[in-house]
Amino acid sequence: MTLSETEALELDAADPGHRELFDVPPAQGGDYPEVAYFAGNSLGLRPKATRSELLEDLDSWAALGVEGHLDAARPWLPYHELLTGPASRLVGALPSETVVMNTLTVNLHLLMVSFYRPTRSRHRIVIEDSAFPSDSYAVRSQVEFHGYDAEDAVIRLRPRPGENSLRTADVVEQLGGDVALVLLGGVNYLTGELMDIPTITKAGHAAGAIVGWDLAHAAGNVPLALHDWDVDFAAWCSYKYLNSGPGAIAGAFVHERHLGADLPRFEGWWSTDAKTRFEMTPESRPPATADAWQVSNPPIFSMSPVRTSLEIFDKVGIEVLRERSVRLTAYLSNLLDGFEVITPTDPARRGAQLSVRVPGAGELSRRLRFEYGVIADSREPDVLRFAPVPLYSTYHDCWRAGTALAEVTA
């Protein structure tokens, strides 16, 4: 479907996002000064406030030295607590169930220490075949650490022949009595499919399994209700839709029914109760919150950009962003009519992503960037991913992307 540039600009006037809050890179090709940025599912753009607010935290170090732990404008000792509330609201959790710490795969491992407790009769882990490789590495290493054969113990779910996405019913069918853990991506990184988290979680529990979720592509992308959905645990990164910078510190969720329970857990300086931390006893006294899964003291200067970003989500609201995301993604979908889009067509089954199967995706991605100023990433062997992020992407960006892809593949 061909849509006009004028129409795109009119839609932007009627349905603006919050692009003014972000630094948009300059274009290296094409007819426009800024890039049309569709790689927010790999690395989000920098909020303009990030630089000044990070410098404020750095200046506290310069002015106060060690006393910044208590005397900084944002004291470092309880700094991570500034992130707990907004992070919990973003993922639909209680503050006690939420902690911002480490990086995504580190958090998955720390959580699996507690929640993957295999036995001879129940030791298998269910993931999607198109899971991001680090999830595959993590679960394979976990089952092998416990003495099981990864080729047998890891169940990899594949779509039906001729289909690109998993059906919820097909996932549920695989949840047998030998499954110890279900660990799926809330939004699949390759296809952009939004999984039916509450239904799969309920089915996993009915089968006697623990259910955890990798929310790397879901947090900040779609509304979540982890507490109400009865999810056992979850983890997410902050550098994609949460716009907190490359390798940004991540988040984790543990349902309140597990808090204070006698679970195995790796512990360290920050796992013990803050009220008694400086008694310097050799035994940890973990609090009955997700903070008990922390290990080391938090990196303040890595937390600062996360705090800045979460404030934006608190102000705008994930429900508002989701509504705009549905409109923006539908518009881009119209522009991609005629291409093989492997993302589900139902807006309820996808996030802010459309994946296009096209030969030579890597070279096309390069040409889009340098000839048209459109940044979209490629995934081997033949997928181009476009993420119209509702915070900063525009209808005109989508028009540029659709027009450029049509020309470069003509």
pLDDT tens-digit series, residues 244-268: 999 999 999 999 999 999 999 999 9
Angle subtended by helix axes 49-64 and 300-316, to nearest 10: 140
Confidence band of 1 (pLDDT split at 50, 70, 90): low
Confidence band of 3 (pLDDT split at 50, 70, 90): confident
Class of CATH domain 55-314: alpha beta
pLDDT in tens, 61-95: 999 999 999 999 999 999 999 999 999 999 999 99
Residue 102 near residue 271 (C-beta atoms within 8 A): no
Q: How many CB atoms are closer than 10 A to CB 366? A: 12
Distance in angstroms between the alpha carbons of the first and the last residue of the chain: 15
Whether 107 shows a pLDDT value over 70: the answer reads yes
Please say whether the structural domain 5-41+317-408 has been given the CATH code 3.90.1150.10: yes
Confidence band of 50 (pLDDT split at 50, 70, 90): very high
> b vs e for 111-148, b when ≥16 Cβ sit within 10 Å of the residue's Cβ?
bbbbbbebeeebbbbbbbebbbeebbebbbebbeeeeb
Q: Rounded to whole angstroms, how far apart are CA atoms 109 and 248? A: 17
Q: Rounded to whole angstroms, how far apart are CA atoms 131 and 185? A: 7
Tokens of 223: 């509304």
| Residues 6+ away with beta carbon under 8 Å from 13 | none
How do beta strands 340-341 and 377-379 pair?
unpaired
Domains of the chain by residue range:
5-41+317-408, 55-314
Phi–psi pair at 200, nearest 5 degrees? -65, -40
Q: Average of pLDDT values for 285-290?
A: 96
CA separation, residue 222 to residues 311, 324, 349, 351, 390 (Å): 17, 11, 11, 6, 11
| Residues 6+ away with beta carbon under 8 Å from 275 | none
Q: How many CB atoms are closer than 10 A to CB 63? A: 12
Question: pLDDT value at position 2?
Answer: 60
Note if the pTM is more than 0.75. yes
Tokens of 378: 């490629």
What ranges in 260-317 are assigned the alpha helix state H? 300-316
What 3-state class would DSSP assign to 115?
Answer: helix
Question: pLDDT value at position 161?
Answer: 97
Q: Average of pLDDT values for 389-395?
A: 98
Q: Tell how many helices (H) and how many strands (E) occur in the chain.
A: 13, 15
Tokens of 341: 């889009």
Question: pLDDT value at position 29?
Answer: 87
Q: Average of pLDDT values for 136-152?
A: 98
How do beta strands 46-47 and 22-23 pair?
antiparallel
What 3-state class would DSSP assign to 291?
Answer: helix
Q: Rounded to whole angstroms, how far apart are CA atoms 273 and 144? A: 33
Question: pLDDT value at position 44?
Answer: 98
Q: Rounded to whole angstroms, how far apart are CA atoms 341 and 350? A: 12
Q: Rounded to whole angstroms, how far apart are CA atoms 221 and 217? A: 7
The pLDDT > 70 percentage for the chain reads 100
Q: Average of pLDDT values for 317-346?
A: 97
Tokens of 324: 């705009």
Query: Using CA of residue 177, residue 182, residue 187, residue 188, what is the dihedral sign?
Result: negative
Q: Average of pLDDT values for 339-367?
A: 97
Q: Rounded to whole angstroms, how far apart are CA atoms 387 and 241? A: 10
Question: pLDDT value at position 168?
Answer: 98
Q: What is the mean pLDDT of the chain?
A: 97
What ranges in 93-222 are assigned the alpha helix state H? 104-115, 133-145, 150-153, 168-173, 197-206
SS3 content of the chain, % helix, strand, coil (to 5): 40, 15, 45
CA separation, residue 254 to residues 108, 134, 220, 306 (Å): 11, 21, 18, 20
Burial of 304 (0-12, 13-18, 19+ CB in 10 A): buried
Confidence band of 98 (pLDDT split at 50, 70, 90): very high
The pLDDT > 90 percentage for the chain reads 99
